[in-house]
Every structure is written in C-alpha cells, then in structure tokens.
Amino acid sequence: MVDSVTLGDPPDLALARTKALTHPRSWEPATELGEALYKAGQPEQALAEFDRARTISPQHSRPVIGALRVYADYGLSGAEEAAQQSLAEFPDDPAVIVAAIDALDAAGAKDQATAALDIAWMRLPGDRTLRRARLQRGMSVDME
C-alpha cells in the first residue's frame, strides 16, 4: 500500500509552477516559483528559478535575496561568490546586504561578513535593517 502512494507538489508550489508556466517572461512568477521551491526543499531548482528571474529583470533585488537565502540555509557551495557579487550589484539595498552577510556567515566567511556589514553601516548609517543585523551579531550601533 505504501508503494502505491505518490506525493504531489504542495499546493503553493503547484500554484507557483502554474503561474511561472503561464507567464514565462515575467520575473515575479519566476521568483515566486523559486521561493516555493526553496520552501519545498529543492534548492538547486530554486536557484535556477531565481537565476531565470534575474535574467528577465536584473534590476530587481527580490530574486537576489531569494538566491542568497538558498545559499545560506542549504549550505550550498558558491555562497561566498554569490554574496560578493550581490554586494557589488546592490550596495545600497539593506535587504540584499543582510542576505549576503547571512550567506557569507553560512560559508564560514565571518570576517568578510563583519566587514561588509561595517561598510554598509558607514554607507547607510542608522538604517533599521542594518541596525537589527548588527545587534543580532553583537556589533555596536552607536552613531559617532
């Protein structure tokens, strides 16, 4: 009886697949599919969808953040390179910066993560997202 059971995609993943197939030239459905694949435990496929979304619309940061989350949470190789590239492409986007720092931490590049957060704090002093990230890491948020 157990052998006859087949599991399909979770409903949110099935819906995201349908949207992505219906709108193949839109970055948002590709990003949503990447996020659903990430949540479903399919990191390689998630990265492929985030890459597709970035190819369609490279100026949006949401697919970048999604990919960095995949690298950080699944411990995939290439996290350090992806984080460095993301920091270079989106140096003023606090959400990208924090996701890149998390990916660097996951890759064992803690000194690089700390340095990137220090640089971001100097560029965007007082930013709430960066402040929270600094506090979580035990870093100073004093504005001198």
Question: Residues 44-80: pLDDT tens digits?
Answer: 999 999 999 999 999 999 999 999 999 999 999 999 9
Cα gap 112→104, rounded to integer Å: 7
Distance from chain centroid for Cα 104: 12
pTM (2 decimals)?
A: 0.89
Question: Residues 120-136: pLDDT tens digits?
Answer: 999 999 999 999 999 99
DSSP-derived 3-state class of residue 109: coil
